[in-house]
Every structure is written in C-alpha cells, then in structure tokens.
Structure 1
Amino acid sequence: MRTDLEVLVVGAGPIGLTTAIALRRLGMRVRVVDRAPGTNREPRADVIFPRAGEALGALGVGETIRQHAYEMESSTIYSSGRRLGTFTTGRLSSDYPCAMTIEQHHIERLLTEELAGLGVTVDWRTRVIDLEQDEHRVGVTVQRQGEPPERVEAAWAVGCDGIRSTVRRLLGVGFPGAERRNMQVVQGNVIPSWSLTDKPGNGYFFLAPYRSVIAFPTPGCGYRIFCVRDDSQPPETHPPTLPELRDLVAGAAGIPDLDMVLTEPVWLSRARFADRIADRLRSGRVLLAGDAAHTWAPLGGHGMNVGMLGAYNLCWKLAAVHRGQAADDILDSYDVEQRTLAAGVIRDMRTSPMEMMLPPIAHRLRGLLLRATLASSAMQRRVEWMMSDFGRHHRRSPLSAEPGFRRGLPGGIRAGDRLPAVQVISSGRPVRSHSLLGYDRWTLLHHVRYAGTEQANALRLALAACPAPVCFAPIAAAGREAARALGDPAHLLLVRPDGHVGLICPVDRPDLVRDYARRHLSGTAAVRPVAEVAGGVS
C-alpha cells in the first residue's frame, strides 16, 4: 500500500497533467494513474487561447508550449467563396496575447516531460476499479494491467478521466445534458493544394449555408480542418474519408479543384456531441475536472482551455485547504466558479456566428455582419477579447467581495475579474502587473502613495494572523489605460493566486480585509499521513 500521498490524479490527458504540475509547483505529493498504455497519439484538441496560455505560464510551462506552437496572428474569412476580410490578433495586453496552435498529443508529451522533471511519472495501464472515502482520506483501488489490484490512500483525489469518467460514476454524480441535434463535426489533419497563402499563424474560415469550415496550420502536420455541418438522415456512423472531407472544404471554400493529402499521424474524425455539466464537481475529498466535469461540442475550440483553467482554479485551493491556509468551503467555490464558467462557454458558443449552420438567407446576412465587423478595429478588438477568455470572470463567486460600497463599485475592475495585465510602476520601475503575482500566494495591491503610511500598517496588522501567504505590492498605474483598468487608487485589490480579484475595498478599511481573511483564509490543516510515498517527491 502506498501512503503519505496527498493527491491522486486519475487521468493523464492535458487536464490531469496540468493538475499534477500545478500541485507539484505547490509542493504537494502527487501520483498520476491512467488506463491508457502511454501518451495519446491522436491530435484531437489543437488550440490554447490566451487566458489558458497565461495559466500555463504561471505554472512554468507556458514558454515550453509556445516554443513548439504557432501563434495565431490572423484569420482570413470567406463567405460562399468571397473574401470578406482578415481578422488580426495581438492587440491585448498580456504575456500571451495570441492563441497558440499545437496538437494535443504534443501538448501531452510536453506536459508529461515537465511533470517528470518535477519528480512524478505517470503510472500507465492502471485503471480505477473502486473508490471510497471518509472525512480524512480517500481510498482508491487501482489495477495495473496484468497485476493484482492495489489500494491507494490519499488525502484527496481529482478525477480527470474524461467524458466516461470512472471516478464520476463511482461517486454517483449525475452528468445531465442534451445532444446537439442535426450537427456533426468532421475533422482531419491534411496538407491542402490550393492557391491560398500558407503561412504559420494565418488560418482560414470558409462559411457556406449549413457549413462552417475552419483551417489552421499546425506545427508539423499541415492544416487542422474542422468542419461543422448538418447531419445526414439516417446519420452516418462510419469514419469520414479523405474524399468526403475534401468535398466539404471544396464546396464551402469555392475551390472545386482542391486536392489534399493526409498527414502523419492520420487524423480523420466524425463526431456528434452533447452539452453536459456534472451535477457537482466536489464530493467530499474527491473533485472532478476537465471532461469528467463538463463537455460540449468543440465549437470555438475552448473545451481543453476551460479544463486547464479549471485545474488552475482548483489546485491552489486544494493545497490551501490541505495546509490549513483556507477554510474548507473555499473548495466549494471551485464547483460554483467552474460550473458557471462551463455554462457560459456553452451558451456563448451556441450563438457564435462563425460556426452556426445557417440557411441561405441567414448565411447571407451573416456575411454582411462579418464584413462590417472586419472593417472596424473596435469590433475586431471586441471579438479578440471574447475569444481570449480574459473576460471570463467569477463575479458571483462566494470568494468575490466588494464591501463598503453602498451604491455599487463605480466603473473599472470588479471583484471576480481577472487582474488586467497592464503596465504599473513597482519599486520605481515599470513592470507588467501579472509579474507581481504568484501561484503560491495572495497579492495585495494598493497605490504607492499609501506605502509606509498608517493605512498600510493597519492592513498588515489586519492580515497578521492570516495563515495564507500574502504579498504586499505598492503600485502606481503607468499610463491612462492602466489607471482606467485598475480603478480608483483609493481602493485596494486582494488578488487570488490564480490572478482573479477576490476583494476590492477602500484602503482605509482594514476591518473589511480582516473580515475577508477570517471568512476565507483560515482553516485547520488536513490530517497528514506519516509514511513516505513510493516513487514520489517529498
């Protein structure tokens, strides 16, 4: 029996690996099991949007991913074969301003290597067959192929084992939802022969009645072709063929002489999807993440990204509760925030004009709308903001508080928002605000005018008994954009480890800071096992 294990992660896809890396960055002892024989060889998901890029950057693996990816700089959009214009990116303030295209099996390989560098290797060919828990620990029975069952005990377990999650089933958690009607998605990785410009970072949208085709170059394998189309009657069940994919693209793009060849590894897929969110993402000491927690049609390509952001949200909370640095119910906020995030993405992607199957008249109206949008830099920026996930917030979370404002907070940033990555002056030099944050701590930002004053001393005293690490960072906005984004300099921002603002209140109200810390940043450390984990890292 393995003991002294703090977290058992079930599933070694992108979300399970991100979870394990985040926990190891926080010094947690982790074991990862997966029933597969090794890292995935199928491309599957292939885009990381800016907010997920920021999360991976904070976990120390963002640059590794970027070095092996293409940064998406532009998309040329066609409607019924007519060019509408080009959508460009890179306007937003961030260390990761552009989405990155990289195939899922490469992401998994890079994350697995990163995790190994942190002292954890995946136990492949190992499946979960039973699970039980009490108030102190989780007992999981696993079985490696060809070996007898083994009981693993851990303080916590995180199920990242996909749509057909064994962990979710053993917990008895429902997975309600509905199938998308009259929609199928045909995908393939190909090298097309066309007269269009082939350039890393430049993709294409080909829109037609009842069709939406997206083509983006991916490192090492030509283009990923993603086609949303209406369903046949009766629905086809066999995998798509290359001629079928070619005809779909040729028809939507208006390129009748189009030719294409498959890349290696071969990836041709036909899929139908349902929109589902688990009834709850926490059951005692077991939590669900990724496709085990939520799934939907891959419109917009945000599924893997939302899963990564969920892991980023969860892991600092789990570590804090385990160490007595946060109240136990802070883990319940993960359930609230992640379910709300997933529901919002499902809602938004249902109405995305780029991937809707429209009849001819509505399709023509879409073309007019897109032409006007592409001609406006303000509209392009708005679309870029939406696709980046920077606007996804936790304003309704129990961790988001704006006390002391009788008539609501006037303008600017709100509690629950992602801290804007703007230029500020810190210690006399210009830096990006995100460089002041840390995944292992909270950060209290206040204007530099209060540094060394009675107000700052009162704030430090208010947090003196807080068991969670808090870093004080006096700043000044470097320019109008930063000043507008950060709001009133008489307000402080208490920023969570994942970069979302938890508390906004007047600097001269240390009682509000003390109350917030007492409510959320206090707790009793979890009972820690005493023996050494085999093969783990202490």
Structure 2
Amino acid sequence: METGRETGAVGGAAGRDGDGTEDVDVCVVGAGPVGLTLAIALRRLALRVRIVDKAPATKHEARALVLWARAREALDALGVGETLRRHGVELDVVTIHARGRSLGELTTGWTRSAYARPLNIEQHDIERLLCEELAGLGTRVEWNTELTDVKVHEDRAEFTLRHEDGSFESAAAPWIIGCEGTASVVRDRLGIPFEGRRRTGLQVVQGNAHPTWPLVGERGRGHIFLAPHRSLLVFPLPGGGFRFFCFRDDPDPTLTAAPTLGELRDLVADTAGMPDLRLGPTVTPWLNRARFSDRVAARLRRGRGLLAGDAAHAWAPVGGHGMNVGILGAHNLAWKLAAVHHGQAGEQLLDTYSDEQRLLAVRYIREMRFNFMELPLPPLGYRAFTATVPAALARRGFQRKLDLRLSDLGRSHAGGALAWHRPGRPLRPGARAGDRMPDVTVTACPTDPMDPTGPAGPTATRLHAVLGYERWTLVLHAARARPDVLDSLREACALFPAPIRILPVTPWDAAEARRLGHPDDLRLVRPDGYVGLVASLTRPALLHDYLAALAHSGP
C-alpha cells in the first residue's frame, strides 16, 4: 500500500520558450558522472532538467575506473545498474606483492548486496551510458555551453551561458547545481570557500597498458605491488589490458608533463621487481601525472544554489572513492530537492544533504591519510607494514571488515538530523537510524491486493528490490502486521504529502530476521535506502512526529 501524494510520471523534455528562458526546474552544470547521475535521478522524480557542459562532448580519455558496491546500488535504484555491469568487469581478488613475492590475496564480495564486488569500468564509458539513459528520459546534454555567471534569489537562480558561437544567453531556473569540478563557477559565484590544502610529497602516475609479464591474466584479478616510497595498483580493464596507478613520492614537483609509456614502464618494472617487463598501448590510451589537494566546500548549499561532486569536495584518489562519493551525493540530493520542489518537505531538508555529504567527504579525507596499502611509505614504515600483511590477509574477519569499508555499505548518517532512533530502548539487532537498510532476503507481502507496485503474492526476494527511489518505505515484520497495527500506521502517514509504502515482510530465516531487526520495531526507509526512523510499533505517534517535522519545517 502507498499513502501520500504521487509526484507523477517523468514528463517530456524541457525546452526553451519564445523569449529564450528555460522552462525547467533545475539547471545542472557539468555532465560528468555526478552531474549525469543527478540529472537522471531528478528526471525520474518528475523534475524538468537542463544540463550544460562547456566541453564539446563526453570525454574520450580514461579517468576514474572503479564503482564500489554502494554506488552501484545507488545507480541500480536509478535504473542503470545492469547496463553498467554489462560494460564492466567485476574485481574478484587482488594479490598483494612485496619484495618479489606474494603476501596473500584480498578477496571481494563478502558484503550482502546484489552488487557486492567492485566494478571496473572506464569513466568515459560511464558517462556515455548515463548520457544515453538521460536522453531516453527526454533530456540531452547541451555541450559547448559554458556557465559564466550565477545570481541566486529567494525563489530562483539566474545564470548566464556562453554558447559555442560566442553568443550569451540569460536564463533562470528555480534551482541550480554546480557539478563542474574543482574550478566550479557556481561555487565561486555563491561565495562558498573551498577549504583545505594541497597534498605535498605525493604524485600519481597512471596509465592504461598491456603488460608482458609472468603473472596469470585472470579477468577478475588485480594486483598491488608495495615498495619503499611507492605503491602500484594494477586493475583489469573491460576492453583488455590493465590500469596502472602508481602512488609515489614527489622528488621533482616541477615535473608536470604527462609521463611517456617508457617512464610508466620503468616505474612499474622497478616497483614490481620485473626488469624484463614490457608495456604496450591499449585501445583507449591514457597516460597521466597528477597532484592533488584535499578540499571540502564550507557548505554545499546557499539558497537556490547547490554543489555536488568535485565542486563540493575533492581529494587525492587514494582508495579510488572520489567518483563514488560524488555519485552517492547525487543520489542523496535528488530526492530531497524533488521533495522540496514538489512541496512535500521544508527547505531545511536540503541542509541535511549539505551536512551529510560534507561529513562523508571529511571522513574519507581523514581515513585515506592512513591507507598504508596505497600511500607511499619510507623504508622503515614499509618494512613494518608489509610484515603485518600476510597475517592480516589470512584472517576472515579482517577480509570482511576491509571489504565492508571499501564497499561503502557500512557508511552511515547516524547522528544526523534525519536519523531518529527510538528513545529509551536498549540496543537491539538490525540497522540503526542513519544506517543503510540491509538487503535482507525476505518474503514480501502486499498490504493491499490492488497495489500495482507490490508483488502479486508472497515471493522470496531481496529487500532492496522492493524499495523504491520515488517513495519512502515503512518496513515491519509481517508477523506483527495485524489490522489494528496497519490502521495506526496508515493514520500516522495519512497527512504526509510524499508517497509512503507500508511493507510487511517475512525474513527468509533466523539469520535474516536478526538482520531485519526486532519484530516489535518499524523502520522508515528513506528513498535513498538509509533508515530515517526506528520506532516501536506501539508508538506510531513518533512516526507521525517525524513525518510532520519533514513536511512542515524540515527535520
């Protein structure tokens, strides 16, 4: 059963009216993975979107490579998960090497998710596929269109665009979102500081190549080579060959030119201890040398202007999560912006996006400073660290914890304004408020036989398959879904203007029941899959208060 007002189906493509202004709800600036994800999410929530980018077309060079489990789940909720899977290669195992020998293997897929393994897929392929998906929703990227100025007002954002022929256009939209990278014009015009500092003593030399080496070329196997003052990550590419990432010290900061294939070969051969190594070019050639700053915008919203992706936060690619964090931010922002725009929530809901996403970025920057598997270490630190690796990799508990951290499935918004947990109760099994709702295997039972969105009858399924990005979901144990309980829940939800599906489920077995949580508790799941509220079924008033706070003034 669903309660609340529907937002409506995706409408037609936004277009210009006679005076040159845009008949749109949101202008997205920047058509990288984050901007495209955000535009797709907004279109699926019935907002009219204009997306512009000063580049002539999608990039044809390699950049980011890995999609981790939580970002894959977010993209699947937007309808593109399987499309991306078909164009990538899942990483099954990574062998760790040092001093010419293997220290052990790091296996993936320990977490409970339909997308448990990281997916290696080139960024330009992600952008191409997302552009195709967005076009299917009626919106095409306006290339060769550069944002030059923004002014935000109480009810709209006015902005200026420069087109390929040099002409300028003045336009307006209720909202504008900067996703155009670290040199963001939107952020600059909003007057938001980009706080942080440059990372010194670290450069990243990377490229795509076909190696000639003695290692077995299994499709889903990667490698990490550790050496003093450098670490080398080698991951398989979907089209054949490997991406080589070398994090190393920075003996000559004045060297800025891209490396040659010969320089990359020498660096890889020296780090891996393979003097006879040869590297050949791939179909998608790419060689890059980069240095980075660790920066986070002081806030991600100023009135009708918002920031996402690298415009909001950026750091060295240690851990390979920059694109993933940006995609998760787009997934977080879109449903909140749609709720505010449709009058289903107060504008303060957008401030929770800023708070949650900034905290996520700050935590990543802090954690990556202790990622000794990738950061270059001095000889003493290298010897101490590599001495601990074989014993750690031999422990299943270590493998599980590391996989959970890399997957981002354990990331939580606990403690935030949207996370309400039942007061005065001892800790019980199941996700707490702010946590990602576990993808439990359940038997889903519709509360209303006429509900077209629910299953026709009891079926075993993953819980995430019956959640929905276009609605909230109230999850409870079917064994407690008595008629009087359901009536009280419907009453508590009745005045909330956004759709809520009441979903009684039966856990598949005792282990899944523990993951789902105590039978006497309900969990209100946000559209982006995080738990907003945990409350007792005997206290529907808490559910009513939570929804009332969202609808009227924000959390």
TM range, normalised to the smaller chain?
over 0.9
Comparing 496-505 with 88-97, greater Cα deviation is found at 88-97
1:299 is paired with a residue whose SS is coil
Residue 446 (structure 1) aligns with: 476
Q: What code does the residue aligned with 2:532 have?
A: G
Asked whether the 8 Å contact 1:468–1:522 carries over to 2, the reply is no
**Structure 1 residue 523, shift from structure 2 partner:** 6.5
Residue 495 (structure 1) aligns with: 525
Residue 410 (structure 1) aligns with: 428
Matched, 1:421 2:451: no
Q: What code does the residue aligned with 1:213 have?
A: L
Residue 530 (structure 1) aligns with: none
Residue 534 (structure 2) aligns with: 504
Q: What code does the residue aligned with 1:483 have?
A: A
Residue 532 (structure 1) aligns with: none
Deviations 1:89-129 (A, max 9, x none): 12221111111001111111111111111111111010111
Asked whether the 8 Å contact 1:324–1:523 carries over to 2, the reply is no
Asked whether the 8 Å contact 2:318–2:375 carries over to 1, the reply is no
Asked whether the 8 Å contact 1:211–1:228 carries over to 2, the reply is yes
Asked whether the 8 Å contact 2:480–2:519 carries over to 1, the reply is no
Residue 324 (structure 2) aligns with: 305
Separation of aligned partners in 2, 1:477 and 1:280:
41
Residue 161 (structure 1) aligns with: 180
2:319 is paired with a residue whose SS is helix
Separation of aligned partners in 1, 2:253 and 2:181:
28
Deviations 1:262-309 (A, max 9, x none): 223321111110100001100101110000000000001000000000
Residue 238 (structure 1) aligns with: 257
Counterpart selection for 1:482 from 489, 512, 516 = 512
**Structure 1 residue 234, shift from structure 2 partner:** 5.0
Residue 417 (structure 2) aligns with: 398
1:228 is paired with a residue whose SS is strand
Q: What code does the residue aligned with 1:354 have?
A: M
Separation of aligned partners in 2, 1:76 and 1:391:
24
Deviations 1:448-477 (A, max 9, x none): 122233222111101111101100000122
What number of residue pairs does the alignment pair up? 523
Matched, 1:15 2:34: yes
Separation of aligned partners in 2, 1:194 and 1:188:
17
Question: Aligned in 2, Cα 1:429/1:221: closer, same or farther, shift over 3 Å?
Answer: closer
Residue 473 (structure 1) aligns with: 503
Using the size of structure 1 for normalisation, the TM-score is 0.95
Residue 358 (structure 1) aligns with: 377
Deviations 1:461-495 (A, max 9, x none): 01111101100000122223322222211110000
Correspondences of 1:371-382 after superposition (within 5 Å): 371-382=390-401
Residue 430 (structure 1) aligns with: 460
Matched, 1:326 2:349: no
Deviations 1:340-379 (A, max 9, x none): 1111111111111211221222212222221112111221
Residue 25 (structure 2) aligns with: 6
Asked whether the 8 Å contact 2:429–2:516 carries over to 1, the reply is no
**Structure 1 residue 221, shift from structure 2 partner:** 4.7
Asked whether the 8 Å contact 1:402–1:409 carries over to 2, the reply is no
In angstroms, what is the RMSD of aligned CA positions?
Answer: 1.4
Comparing 271-280 with 428-437, greater Cα deviation is found at 428-437
2:490 is paired with a residue whose SS is helix
1:520 is paired with a residue whose SS is helix
Correspondences of 1:135-214 after superposition (within 5 Å): 135-214=154-233
Separation of aligned partners in 1, 2:240 and 2:297:
35
1:269 is paired with a residue whose SS is strand
1:5 is paired with a residue whose SS is coil
Matched, 1:264 2:294: no
Matched, 1:61 2:91: no
1:357 is paired with a residue whose SS is coil
Q: What code does the residue aligned with 2:304 have?
A: R
